[in-house]
Amino acid sequence: METTLVFETTAEFRPGFPPLLWEATRDILGCVSRPVYRVYRSNLSSCVSEYHADVHVAPGALGSATPCVIQSHFVDSLEMALQVAA
């Protein structure tokens, strides 16, 4: 099963959980840049795909030197992958 990067976004104008994740990382962790979502597609067959997203949260004001990466599980749509990852 080959995984392909579909798109990368900050999910700035998406509703739901991405704005909540941004507010938490900004207000609690002191991050100055939005989390970056990388959405991947895996083709299960010629007509069935599933998606997952990785969220990369930049180091914040708390002194963390490395970014945090959160990985979602596989879901049925691009939009759901963003929501689950957030």
Total domain count for the chain?
1
Query: What is the structure's pLDDT at 61?
Result: 57
Q: What is the pLDDT of residue 60?
A: 64
The SS3 call for residue 23 is: helix
Predicted TM-score of the model (pTM):
0.86
Walk along the chain (86 residues) and give the pLDDT tens digit of each residue. Answer: 678 999 999 999 999 999 999 999 899 888 888 999 999 999 888 788 899 999 999 876 566 677 788 888 899 998 999 999 98
What HEC string does 33-76 produce? CCCEEEEEEEECCCCCEEEEEEEEECCCCCCCCCCEEEECCCEC
At 62 the pLDDT is 60
Provide the residue range defining the domain that includes 36: 3-85
